[in-house]
Structures are given as C-alpha cells and as structure tokens.
Amino acid sequence: MSLAPQDVRRLIDSYLQARTTQDPDLILDVFTLTATYHERVFGQPIHDHAGIRDYWRTKVGEEQANIQAELLNLDLDGTTAIAEWEARFGDVVASLREYWASERVSSCE
C-alpha cells in the first residue's frame, strides 16, 4: 500500500505545528498509542503516548523558546517517507553566572 503524498504532508505539518506551538497534546496526533520516539541516535527511545507527551511538555515546552521549523524536503517511495526539516530555537536559561577578570591572570605555563 503506497502512501498518499497529501496524507504524509498533513502528518509532517502537524508535527511541525506541534513543535512551533510547543503543544504536547497536538504531537500525540502524530503517533500511535504504542509508538516510540528516538530523540538521540544512541539514547534510549521514549515509549508510548504518556512518555512522548511528557518529553514534549518538559523538553520542548519548558526548555525551548522562539521555535521556528520548516520542511525542507519530502520524498516518498511506496510505503516509506523521508522528511527533512530544519528547526531553530533558543534554550530557556533558568540561571546564569558569568565571571570576568579585569586584570591579566597568570598563565598555566
């Protein structure tokens, strides 16, 4: 069964909208109830709707700001879709301490 281009595009658009609006409920429309989400290639996957929602609520909703995302490429081959997008965002900083020196400090030589 082939994928319909308009269905795949609608799914990708939902994903990108969930990211830019930081909506943990909208992202669940993209995944099945028992889906797994791999954020990091060598990291452990996030399991099922509860895990995916919690990840989006904390990581995307609380730790990122000013998110922009756009689809760059979408290719379909039968039952496989490959989507490439770019996301830009800033990390939210809860606390920051900066130190500076007004005089030259000795080197470690």
Q: What local confidence, expressed as pLDDT, does residue 106 receive?
A: 60
Indicate the CATH number for domain 5-91. Answer: 3.10.450.50
- 17, 26 contact by CB (below 8 A): yes
What pLDDT, in 10s, does the model give residues 34-88? 999 988 888 899 999 999 999 999 999 999 999 999 999 999 998 888 899 999 9
Query: Whole-prediction pTM value?
Result: 0.78
Query: Strand, helix or coil at 48?
Result: helix
- How far apart (Å, rounded) are the C-alpha atoms in residues 24 and 60? 8
- 51, 39 contact by CB (below 8 A): no
- How far apart (Å, rounded) are the C-alpha atoms in residues 51 and 37? 9
Q: Which residues have CB under 8 Å from 18's CB, separation 6+?
A: 24, 26, 27, 29, 30, 56
Phi and psi, residue 19, nearest 5°: -70, -50
Average pLDDT over residues 13-32: 94
Statement: residue 100 has pLDDT above 70: no
Q: What local confidence, expressed as pLDDT, does residue 61 receive?
A: 93
